[in-house]
Structure 1
Amino acid sequence: MTAVETGVRARTRRAILDAAIERLTKQPNASLADIAAAANVGRTTVHRYFPERADLIDAISADALEKVAHATSRARTDEGTATAALTRLCQEYFEFGDLFMLIFTMPDLLTREEWQEESEDDRRLLRLIERGHGEGTIDADMPAAWVQSLLWSVLYTAWEQVREARMPKHEALTLCLRTVAKAVTP
């Protein structure tokens, strides 16, 4: 396979994944044919990349975990104050609202083994929160696991507000960051 063929395959795969995320977020029972139409490819093309719906779900799950890893890395959780790093992390995660809304609302995704195990990214977030406890920038009476759940809950609320067209994205992000900051401040 040439580099051009590999690039075309990667772009087609990405288009199918993006269309699947967008479509399944709005219609969880969307068929592979619906996803093919949303990706502007034929149904046989979708089946070539993802023979079964389960294969597509596997790919979405792996894509989400990869995006979390990249976002966590971009947030530079070891730099600056813990609250500044937590703000950067919220901003990074916020960009993947559709993907996370899909993960949180599709039981066959959230109950998968890879989502049940604590990942290195989870541990980085917990270490960040514990660092904030130590430096006095995050309320030490709030356990790290509580703050972690709080972060995901507030992000979910922000994404839901955007998805339901109740709020512009920038406003939802601003309120998300403000809520997290106020909640964790000692």
Structure 2
Amino acid sequence: MVERQTAESGTRARTRRAILDAAVALLSATPTASLGDVASAAGVGRTTVHRYFPERSDLLAAIGTDLLDKVAAATERARLQDGPADRALERLCQEYFELGDALTLIFDNPQLMNWSGWEEETPADREVLRTLERGQAEGRVDAEADAQWLLSVLWALLYSAWEQSRTAGISKHTALSLCLHTLRKAFAP
């Protein structure tokens, strides 16, 4: 009995993950895609999508929650406390770059940022701000620029890199390299 429940919960988790991943990939490219389109992209039936996410708003809320979890995990993987702050910020950009589709979806759809679960300033944002301020104190990040401004610039650089890889036909590797190069120049003391 316990094995069957574990298998069912594993299957449910995989199905839910498949729907979320398909929705992010599809909606980041085609924001008006229907739940039926999401079901096709996920390889499940429309009724399956509705069982997990009865309304489009439920799916979008789940994407938001999932993205916040992924940003928190990426921030942790970047090890912002290790080594010089400028190098930590480069690691952060590399980690965040992998979240491009989901973050682009959020940035391109402001109504998603109005969802009640979306925090104005997340713990990850606060950790990045502390890293920027540490970099300024270390003399490795421009101390004349406001740390909040630099955080906005970091997000703008990432967004530009994602857009370039999505629409301009440049490789993700090249887009990330350009992002990191610009980050080094823009944040230099």
Q: Structure 1 residue 142 and structure 2 residue 141: aligned?
A: no
Aligned to 2:135: 132
Q: Structure 1 residue 156 and structure 2 residue 159: aligned?
A: yes
**Aligned residue identity for 1:181:** R
Aligned to 1:120: 123
Aligned to 2:19: 16
Aligned to 2:89: 86
Q: Structure 1 residue 48 and structure 2 residue 51: aligned?
A: yes
Q: Distance in 2 between matches of 1:48 and 1:114?
A: 21
Q: Distance in 1 between matches of 2:26 and 2:168?
A: 16
Residue number among 39, 42, 66 corresponding to 1:39 in the alignment: 42
Root mean square deviation of aligned Cα: 1.0
- Could you list the per-position Cα deviations for residues 23-63 of structure 1 after superposition, in whole angstroms to 9, with x for gaps in the alignment? 11111111110100010100000000000101000000001
- Structure 1, unmatched stretches of 5+, are none
Aligned to 2:183: 180
The more displaced of 137-146 and 157-166 is: 157-166
How far residue 165 of structure 1 moved from its aligned partner, in angstroms, is 4.3
Matched residues, number: 186
- Could you list the per-position Cα deviations for residues 115-157 of structure 1 after superposition, in whole angstroms to 9, with x for gaps in the alignment? 3521111100000000001000000001100110000000000
Q: Is the 8 A contact 2:61 2:117 kept in 1?
A: no
Q: Structure 1 residue 6 and structure 2 residue 9: aligned?
A: yes
**Aligned residue identity for 2:33:** A
> Percent identity over the alignment?
58
Aligned partner of residue 2 in structure 1, secondary structure: helix
- Could you list the per-position Cα deviations for residues 103-124 of structure 1 after superposition, in whole angstroms to 9, with x for gaps in the alignment? 0011221223443521111100
**Aligned residue identity for 1:129:** L
- Structure 2, unmatched stretches of 5+, are none
Aligned to 1:27: 30
Q: Is the 8 A contact 2:61 2:115 kept in 1?
A: no
Aligned partner of residue 133 in structure 1, secondary structure: helix
Q: Distance in 2 between matches of 1:126 and 1:112?
A: 23
Q: Distance in 1 between matches of 2:52 and 2:119?
A: 26
Q: Structure 1 residue 75 and structure 2 residue 78: aligned?
A: yes
Aligned to 1:104: 107
The more displaced of 157-166 and 141-150 is: 157-166
- Could you list the per-position Cα deviations for residues 63-82 of structure 1 after superposition, in whole angstroms to 9, with x for gaps in the alignment? 11000000000000111000
